[in-house]
Amino acid sequence: MKKIIFVEILIIIILITAIIVWKNIFIEKPLSVTNFEECLNLGYPILESYPRQCKAPNGTFTEDIGNALEKQNLIRISKPQPNEVVKSPLEITGEARGYWFFEASFPIKLRDENGKELGTTIAQAKSDWMTEDFVPLETTLEFQKPETSRGVLILEKDNPSDLPENADELQIPVRFSK
């Protein structure tokens, strides 16, 4: 009797293990991942890097962080971080080289992924801006309710001359809270 119960339990354990293995091997995730978000949502491994990378069977996909790496020697934003979920009012903090400012300020815009402008504000230097060193900045941006789930925060180098060669901007992708 004990031997029969033991065999039955062993068969049940083998069946459960077989089902789990079958699901993991034969019910495969899609091979045609096309971007970082899909890769992340499907549970593929995330590599320890900045920007983050996701490794799928058909390639490695890098998270979009805007142009933060290219501009890190000119302007650095500590809040919000790329792809952070934001809501109005949005606090913006960081630091920029003194020549990013003019009269201790520069413009900031928020657009949805369709390019619709949701709000604008002015960043203010928190110390002497007439330097080539980094100057702390902060501001608050109030914006209208977006129609899309994603957008971009644009921090523009102040350009009173309006000459294209003096224009520059930092673009930070953001997500909107529902």
At 28-38, the pLDDT tens digits run: 555 688 899 98
- Whether 104 and 28 map to the same domain: the answer is no
Strands 169-176 and 85-86 turn out to be: parallel
Instruction: Read off the pLDDT of residues 3-29 as tens digits, 9 standing for 90 and up.
Output: 777 777 878 888 888 777 766 655 555
- Whether 98 and 162 map to the same domain: the answer is yes
Q: What is the CATH number of the domain that holds 88?
A: 2.60.40.2550
- Whether 39 and 122 map to the same domain: the answer is no
Instruction: Read off the pLDDT of residues 131-161 as tens digits, 9 standing for 90 and up.
Output: 999 999 999 999 999 999 999 999 999 988 8
d(Cα 157, Cα 139) in Å, to the nearest integer? 15
Where helices occur in 27-175 by DSSP H, the ranges are: 36-41, 68-71
Q: Assess whether pLDDT exceeds 70 at residue 53.
A: yes
Q: For residue 105, report the phi and psi dihedrals to the nearest 5 degrees.
A: -150, 165
Instruction: Read off the pLDDT of residues 72-116 as tens digits, 9 standing for 90 and up.
Output: 999 999 999 999 999 999 999 999 999 999 999 999 999 999 999
- Whether 102 and 56 map to the same domain: the answer is no
Break the chain down into helix, strand, coil percent, rounded to 5. Answer: 25, 35, 40
- Whether 168 and 140 map to the same domain: the answer is yes
d(Cα 151, Cα 118) in Å, to the nearest integer? 9
Q: Which of 62, 78, 111 is the last residue of a domain?
A: 62
Give pLDDT, residue 6: 72
Total domains in the chain come to 2
Domain span at residue 78 reads 68-176
- Whether 33 and 85 map to the same domain: the answer is no
- Whether 52 and 83 map to the same domain: the answer is no
Q: For residue 6, report the phi and psi dihedrals to the nearest 5 degrees.
A: -60, -45
Give pLDDT, residue 24: 62
Give pLDDT, residue 22: 63
- Whether 88 and 152 map to the same domain: the answer is yes
Cα Rg of the chain, angstroms: 25
Q: pTM for this structure?
A: 0.77
- Whether 83 and 166 map to the same domain: the answer is yes
- Whether 85 and 45 map to the same domain: the answer is no
